[in-house]
């Protein structure tokens, strides 16, 4: 299922992970740098998004500055994983809900306006699923996410 990318796609993915212009017409700026039209940029980004290669064009926030958040994990019996994952995903405060290979097999990030709201959400999750939610809030970030190099090491 891995896509074969054109050199244009590679440049779109590689050269604009940082410093996306915060200007009224950002895609025009990208187009000028790539030597193509703005509509071509928009069309390729749309295709790359539809194919799932791009999550979004947007911002990456520094954790913990916005509301309260935590990483959380649950030990879900394999036969219930799809159902429990769907319940967890249905909370708008949930992001990055993943299955991982471990007894703790469901992992997600929970962000809430404040600590009280977070308690409420976790209590609801535990009530609906009957499974304990373990929390692993961040204490410190060591690695600054500056984007991801597609080529070379």
Q: Which of residues 114-133 bind other proteins (CB under 8 A)?
A: none
Instruction: Lay out the sheet containing 134-136: strands in order across.
Output: 106-112, 68-74, 134-136
Based on the shown chain and the rule CB under 8 A, indicate whether residue 20 belongs to the binding site for other proteins: yes
Minimal distance, residue 143 CB to other proteins, in Å: 4
What pairs with residue 108 in β-bridges? 72
From residue 96 to residue 115, what is the string marking binding to other proteins with x (rule CB under 8 A)?
Answer: xxxxxxx-x--xx----x--
Q: Is 84 helix (H, G, I), strand (E, B) or coil?
A: helix
Among positions 26-55, residues that touch other proteins (CB under 8 A) are: 26-28, 38, 42, 45-46, 49-55
Based on the shown chain and the rule CB under 8 A, indicate whether residue 7 belongs to the binding site for other proteins: no
For 16, counting Cβ atoms within 10 Å of its Cβ (0-12 exposed, 13-18 middle, 19+ buried), the class is buried
Q: Which is nearer to other proteins, 108 or 129 (CB)?
A: 108
Closest-CA residue to 51 (of 89, 1, 101)? 1
Minimal distance, residue 119 CB to other proteins, in Å: 16
**Chain centroid to CA 80:** 24
Q: Which is nearer to other proteins, 127 or 153 (CB)?
A: 153
Euclidean distance between CA atoms 89 and 51, whole angstroms: 21
Candidates 35, 77, 151, 153: give the one binding other proteins (CB under 8 A): 153
Number of residues that bind other proteins (CB under 8 A): 78
Based on the shown chain and the rule CB under 8 A, indicate whether residue 78 belongs to the binding site for other proteins: no
Euclidean distance between CA atoms 84 and 39, whole angstroms: 41
Candidates 6, 33, 37, 89: give the one binding other proteins (CB under 8 A): 89
């Amino acid at each position: 299922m891995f896509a074969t990318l054109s050199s244009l796609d590679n440049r779109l993915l590689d050269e604009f992970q940082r410093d996306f212009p915060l200007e009224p017409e950002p895609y025009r700026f990208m187009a000028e740098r790539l030597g193509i039209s703005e509509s071509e940029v928009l069309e390729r980004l749309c295709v790359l998004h539809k194919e799932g290669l791009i999550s979004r064009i947007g911002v990456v926030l520094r954790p913990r500055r916005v509301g309260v958040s935590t990483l959380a994990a649950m030990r879900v019996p394999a036969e219930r994983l799809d159902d429990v994952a769907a319940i967890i995903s249905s909370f708008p405060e949930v992001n990055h809900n993943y299955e991982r290979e471990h007894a703790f097999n469901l992992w997600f990030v929970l962000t809430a306006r404040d600590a009280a709201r977070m308690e409420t959400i976790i209590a609801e999750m535990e009530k609906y699923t009957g499974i304990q939610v373990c929390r692993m809030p961040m204490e410190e970030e060591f690695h600054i996410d500056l984007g991801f190099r597609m080529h070379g090491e």
